[in-house]
Each structure stands twice: as structure tokens, then as C-alpha cells.
Amino acid sequence: MPADGHAQAKLVTRNFGNEKAKEIISYESTGGYRAARAALARAPEDIVAEVKTSNLRGRGGAGFPTGIKWGFIPKDAQNVHLVCNADESEPGTCKDRELMYWDPHLLIEGMIIAAHALKAVHNYIYIRGEMMREYLVLERAVREAYQKGYLGARAMGTAIRCEITVHRGAGAYICGEETALLNSLEGKRGWPRLKPPFPAVKGLFGEPTIVNNVETLMNVPFITEKGGKWFADLGVGRSGGTRIVCVSGHVNRPGVYELPMTVTFNQLIDDVCGGMWKERRVKGVIPGGSSMPPLDASELDVPVEFDALMTDERIKPVETAPGVKFDMGGGKQLRTMAGSGGIVVFDDQTDVVELCWRIMKFYAHESCGQCTPCREGTGWLEKINRRVAQGHGVPGDLELMSSIAVGIAGNTICPLGEAAAWPMLGFLTKFRPDFEAKLMRAQYGQVHADAATAIAAAAEKAERTTEGHA
């Protein structure tokens, strides 16, 4: 495993690189299942309150406070289910696969505690179909936990029943969306459901269900053992705990790192990841999986924390046209989001138009086809972006892509629509000169295009200089 420049207490990644930790004997020898044993002796409401205090936020992408989500289960609910979303497939994200491989019992322990808090009996881990090595590890760990009596009719020797079933997917990005995941778990096509009703009211098999990400659940034992306040204090503001980031792309040491929430992108690149490869300069960063709007090189002094990425004014808002801010509804601006922690760094020689095309290709491929704006729109975005990337764009293509993206966002059953629209608008906002240079080349040939690129670069440099003096 790669070195870590920002040393600090490791929670969920502490067993990375330790092949033995995935065996229950080894896991228990370092205090494993102690937190679950203690938690099962506490009242469920007490654990929900502890998790609320901890400021734990969902690590799957939305960053929603976990304790508040748990609180949505109706008071008199019967047959509650806890489902672990292990369908990691957001491009640039590679943490849950590693977490399950290195520390499967930590996930099981987190689920035992969470299930008790929710009074959930029949619980499931929905693991991505392609993760076959991790499935074997997880299956074995669950079997061990049953053999020890930690799972089953009398979990950990108490009167509490806790069942966990590992359920394999079969290849569909959309099943990472929680309601599509529930349909897939029910043995259907992975089509997202209309909300409301939300899963907490009507989820798996029509019963109240909480869906939590792998990393989210793995943090729970630390919270119940050391206290919600302790966990909240590890973080900043309304974001408790540490942050796992998966850094990929053009850095010298890509990797999965567990870091303080306060680390900035520049520190991450320079101190943690050993700088940019080939001694090049950074051109931009995708901060939270491919569905999040990118940051340009001037926006990288912002920390990787959830709220900072949404509100820090050093990040320019996403626009639908130069000078026209994208409205998320109610006049709310979109900067970017921490998403899944998948951080993709690209250097100054990257063809960002092509990079954006690859993202559009992905969403066009993965659209489930239920909603017209997404099914048709993602296909159009891919086609138009491809022709611009290949130098066959026509005047008006950028405006067309922007209007299609605006037509998708907010008009679909599930967030896959936004997942395509946001990066499209984000790339057009932050790297518009790159797109314009491609159009210029299509219209006037290479010589003029080179001139245009040089002018754009000079303008960008001038802008940076001005900002430096501001």
C-alpha cells in the first residue's frame, strides 16, 4: 500500500495490507466484535442518537447524515431491513472493494450494530457482480460469523436476531442507486423507483428499509465504541470522522487514502500522492466520482470535506452559458460535491474534451432507459461530445450540449440524469476554451486552432494573475 504523508488515526483502512485480518480469529484478537457486543446491550434509540451526534455522513455519494436517515424509519415499523450498498461502480471510486477485501468482519460488525439500531432482522449485502474475489472473502466472513453465533437467531448470545445474506448483482451501474438496488434485490430489472415513498417507509419487499454504503457502515463500530462526540471531533463542522479518497489519474502515487477532512486537493496531490507525474502541471480534478462537476487548477486549495465542496466560494458555480449560473432549483447554485471520494487528477496535456466524452459514453451506456430525458439525452450528449472531441463539431454544439444537459437535470426518476448533466455543464464551464479550440479546428483547420489555443491559454494565465492580485 502506498505511503501516507498525512499520518493520523486510521479507522476503516487500518487493516489494509494485512492479509490475516480477514480471518475472524485475527479480527477478534485485535478487539473485533467487542463494539457489537457492547452495542447489543444498549437500547436501539441510544445507538441512533449516538450516530446522529457523530455527524457521520453517507459515503456512497450523497453525503446525507446517516443518523437522520436512520430516524426516518417509522416508529411502529415492522419487518425493517438493512441493506448494504456494495455495488461500487462510480468511475474513479475504488474504496469499497478494498474495504471489503481487507476487512470484511468490520462491515459485518457495523451491520450487526446498525441492524440492532434499526430493529432490522433480515439484512442484505448487495455486492457488485464483477467483484468476484471480494464476494468470496465476504461470503467466507459471513459464514465464520454464523459459525461463531454472531449472526443468526441469537446474535452474539442475545435474544436479538440478525441475519445477513450476501446477494450478487450481475453488471449494472444503475443498481448502485438505492431503489434500483432494491428492485434488483427483489429479482427484477434494476429500474429506479419513483420517490416518495422513500425506502425508509416502503423499501425492500415493500417494507421499511435503510440502504447504507460499505464505508458508512464500517464506521459505525468506532462510533458506538468511542462515542459520537469523539467521531464528530475527528472531522470538521457537520462532517464527522475521516475521509477516504481514491486518487487516480496523473499523480505519482495513486491510491486509497484515509485522511482528515481538512486536507486540500493541492496537499493531496503534492504531499500524499507525490506530486504530478512526469513533472507536469495539474489541469483539473474530478472531486467525487465522474458524476461530479470538475475543478480547475485554480480551485484546488479547497478541502475534500462535504460542505466545502458545495459552498466554498473559491469554487466557481457551474454555468449553463458563460455568465449564466445553473439553477438547481429555488435559485440554488451548483459548485460541486464530495460524492463517492473518487478523485481523478488530470494533467495539462489532457484532452479534456475527450475525457468529458468518455464520461458521457459511460452514462449513455448505463442509462436504464426508463425516463426519456435521460435515455435520449445521454445518447445525444455522447454523440455530440464525440464529434466535437474528434474535430467534427459544428457551431452551436456547445450550446446544444448545454441545453440537453439542462433538459435532463431534475427531470428524471433517479439521479443518473444529474450524474450526466452535471459533469457536462461543469466541463463546459471550467474548460470552455478547450471545447472552443476543438470547434475552431473543425471550422478553420489546425493553424487557426493553434492560435486560438494560444490565445485561450494567455487569457487563462492573465485571469490567474489577476486573481492572484485580487
Interacting residues with another protein (CB under 8 A): 2, 88-94, 96-97, 122, 128-133, 135-136, 163, 165, 167-173, 184-190, 205, 246-250, 254-256, 286, 290, 342, 344, 346, 350, 355, 358-359, 362, 365-366
Shortest distance, position 248 Cβ to another protein, whole Å: 4
Spell out the residues 6+ positions from residue 81 whose beta carbon is closer than 8 angstroms to its own: 120, 121, 122, 123, 124, 203, 204, 205, 207, 208, 209, 210
Q: Which 3 state secondary structure label does DSSP give 105? A: helix
Shortest distance, position 469 Cβ to another protein, whole Å: 33
Residue 122 or residue 335: which is nearer to another protein going by CB?
122
- Distance in angstroms (rounded) separating the CA atoms of residues 214 and 222: 14
Shortest distance, position 325 Cβ to another protein, whole Å: 26
Shortest distance, position 224 Cβ to another protein, whole Å: 27
Residue 122 or residue 316: which is nearer to another protein going by CB?
122
According to DSSP, the residues that pair with 349 across neighbouring strands are none
Strand 243-249, strand 255-259: pairing: antiparallel
CB atoms within 10 A of CB 230: 15
Residue 217 or residue 285: which is nearer to another protein going by CB?
285
Residue 238 or residue 281: which is nearer to another protein going by CB?
281
Shortest distance, position 239 Cβ to another protein, whole Å: 23
Concatenated DSSP letters for 117-134? HHTB-EEEEEE-TT-HHH
Q: Which 3 state secondary structure label does DSSP give 443? A: helix
CB atoms within 10 A of CB 8: 12
Strand 243-249, strand 209-213: pairing: unpaired
Shortest distance, position 170 Cβ to another protein, whole Å: 4
Residue 73 or residue 359: which is nearer to another protein going by CB?
359
- CA-nearest of 281, 261, 300, 249 to 430 is 300
Residue 15 or residue 320: which is nearer to another protein going by CB?
15
Residue 164 or residue 388: which is nearer to another protein going by CB?
164
Shortest distance, position 305 Cβ to another protein, whole Å: 21
Q: Where are any strands of DSSP class E within 48-151?
A: 81-86, 122-127
